Amino acid sequence: MDSPHSRRNLLSLPYEVLSTIFVLARNPAFGRVAHLCRAVSLDPRNQAHWLLARNKGRPHRALRNALLWNFCSLELVTTLETRLIRHYQAKHTPATPLPSATNPAEASENEGEIELESETSEHESTRRGPAEPNQAGRRKRRHPDPDSGLIPPPHKRPRRYLGFSEAARLLHDDPILATQLREFYSTCRLSRHLFNFPETPEPALQYIISMLARGVSPNEPLGYPLIKSAQLNNTSMTQRLLENHADPNCNDNVAIKVAAGRGNHRIVRLLLEHESLPCSTALRYAVARKHMKIANLLMKYGAAPDTETVRILYRT
């Protein structure tokens, strides 16, 4: 019988169950179901598990694909980055060798430690007495006492999600790993939606600055970040990209053509100061839309007018 009392609302499930459903569903639209589900989908820890599940548990693929999603944040990148560093260290760190029989001193020391541990465990068992049998006649399994040293204190237990400071410390201790991680970031690119603002919001700006400092390419895909910033007259973002070695002549010098056609004088000057080619096409666009200040600036940097530009000048 399908009665209202037998139906279970999705919001009545615990947060851990909703998190597991979100990870296993692999559906980015899961957060649109309800407000609580949206909170589950916005948790960076659940997002990291979700990306790892979609990419078969491979942290490098999960991190590369995470940068393409609109919900990607600096906390999510830090979580996946630390997971990638741990994966690399576990893969390349040799296993600790067992104590060999050729060194009798080490063997005798290890044997003494083992005997001492067994004696203390026997002493603890005699002091506590035999375990009480349960209802099924089996002995109860005693949990280790936190004061006995078998369970590490809370401040010494390994954390599941490490922060940026932990990742920075690991990279500082291993310069080879830092170089390889930077080479990995050079093959990644950012999402396009980050550059679709005339004025970039502060959280997005901090995220872009951090990713560019990590080595993410400012030219992919096909120079879109610089071209879109020049089109929207976003001077601060254009300057950030050029300072991080963005190619001003990428994709057939489209950035300066778009900026000259739209009359973005400061963008054109920034591009020319960073060795952008003053092409005749950009000069023609500026003259056709009567941006004579930009046209004079382009000719000052060496742009030569072509036949079509001369015809436009005679018409005006």
Q: What is the DSSP string of 235-300?
A: HHHHHHHHHTT--TTHHHHHHHHHHHHHT-HHHHHHHHHTT----HHHHHHHHHTT-HHHHHHHHH
Using the predicted structure, report yes or no on whether residue 165 has a pLDDT greater than 60: no
Residue 265 phi/psi, 5-degree rounding, is -65, -45
Domains of the chain: 10-42 (no CATH), 217-315 (1.25.40.20)
Q: What pLDDT does residue 224 have?
A: 93
Using the predicted structure, report yes or no on whether residue 198 has a pLDDT greater than 50: yes
The arithmetic mean of pLDDT across residues 68-76, rounded, is 89
Q: What pLDDT does residue 10 have?
A: 65
**Span 199-213, pLDDT tens digits:** 999 999 999 999 998
Q: What pLDDT does residue 43 have?
A: 83
Q: Of the ranges 25-29, 96-100, 120-124, 248-252, which is most confident?
A: 248-252
DSSP 140: P
Q: What pLDDT does residue 168 have?
A: 61
The reported pTM is 0.67
Site of tokens 């004088």? 265
**Are residues 231 and 258 in contact, defined by beta-carbon separation less than 8 angstroms?**
yes
Using the predicted structure, report yes or no on whether residue 297 has a pLDDT greater than 90: yes
The arithmetic mean of pLDDT across residues 257-280, rounded, is 92
The burial class, CB within 10 Å (0-12 / 13-18 / 19+), for 13 is middle
**Span 99-123, pLDDT tens digits:** 444 444 444 444 433 333 334 444 4
**Span 172-188, pLDDT tens digits:** 667 777 888 888 898 89
